[in-house]
Structure 1
Amino acid sequence: MPEPIRIFVRVVDGLNYRIGRFAMYLLYPLAAILLASTASRIFLGLPINWALEMSQFILSAYYLLGGAYTFQLGQHVRMDLLYDRLSARNRAITDAFTILFVIFYLAVLFGGGLSSTNYAIVYGQKNYSAWSPPLWPIKVVMTAAIFMMLLQCVSALFKDIAIARGKPLA
């Protein structure tokens, strides 16, 4: 593979690795918010009206930011009725073909995410709740995570093509 592709794969893999490792630590503030909400409700009789939405935002960021990292490590769910019986080269060919559908899906999803994020920023979109937080921060995170997943899929495509050609990248 040409050197620019090797560099692209290294950069995307490294960046998604770091983002995924960061995302793992989002469980701590999530747990703290849920614990504070529960303690406030039980001991003080005062519900925290922002806790549910904030925990949903953090969980969404955790899930989406960790997606590319999970995909990179090959820890995602895979339907492998016949897949495990294939040779490494045939698995790479199969993956290279099927990842094209995922790339198309993510490109469409990314376009929608950009549109939705732009709308939230321009019009100051807020959630319909008592807390009424602005939605642009979580939409920015979601769109960025979708973009990183798209880049990780392109990286995987390059790796699969290299394996299918008999010259793995790493």
Structure 2
Amino acid sequence: MIRALRAYVAVVDRVNLGLGRVMMWGIFALMGVLLWSTASKAMGTPSLWTLETAQFVMMGYFMLGGPYALLIGANVRMDLFYGELSPRRKAVTDCVTVVFLLVYLGILMWGGVESTIYAFQYGGERSPSAWRPYMWPIKVVMCTGIGLMLLQALSELAKDVLFLTTGTPDRTATEGPADAL
């Protein structure tokens, strides 16, 4: 059982670490779209596609980078009480609170899958804007990001369970934000 948990943690952490490091470069794609938008407006021929493309790129950046943020511990915590806890109590607290995260992500995934199915089912749902892009690509990215976040939350739970059972911290992919840079 312990070996299976460690293998799961290693695979999920490795995938999210790699994807997160790739997604770091997404900010440059967003900057490029916004730069083009500014330049095209300055030339007097504003592009129809830049606003929605920027929104789609930002959504991908956010959704696919979320599991990486959870992995390296860049998520926001209320350290008023948590910061003073012992490592063992932190692990117990995390085991309890991750249940709420999993429920929330499960509801998000359910809604995301339903919305994605709708986008495919009805002849390709399109945005109501002048550009009218198909909505299914961003909905697939959204579901992928939520799925990876679910897997990462389970990986964090597995790390806490391993710590509570073996007494040694199991940080397979990374030790923290400093290692990510």
TM-score by length of 1: 0.96
Q: Which range moved further: 21-30 or 11-20?
A: 21-30
- The amino acid that maps onto 1:9 is V
Paired residues in the alignment total 169
Moved beyond 4 Å, runs of 4+: none
Q: Is the 8 A contact 1:90 1:164 kept in 2?
A: no
Q: Using the alignment, how far apart are the partners of 1:129 and 1:108 within structure 2?
A: 28
Matched with 1:133 is 133
Matched with 1:30 is 30
Gaps of 5+ in 1: none
Matched with 2:21 is 21
Q: Is the 8 A contact 1:163 1:169 kept in 2?
A: yes
Q: Secondary structure at the match of 1:82?
A: helix
Q: Secondary structure at the match of 2:80?
A: coil
- The amino acid that maps onto 1:93 is V
Gaps of 5+ in 2: 172-181
- Percent of residue pairs identical: 46
1:117 Cα deviation after fit: 0.6
1:169 Cα deviation after fit: 2.8
Q: Is the 8 A contact 2:95 2:160 kept in 1?
A: yes
1:167 Cα deviation after fit: 3.5
Q: Using the alignment, how far apart are the partners of 1:7 and 1:150 within structure 2?
A: 17
**What does the per-residue CA deviation read over 1:85-109, in whole Å, with 9 as the maximum and x for residues that have no partner?**
1110000000111001101111121
TM-score by length of 2: 0.90
CA RMSD, 1 decimal: 1.0
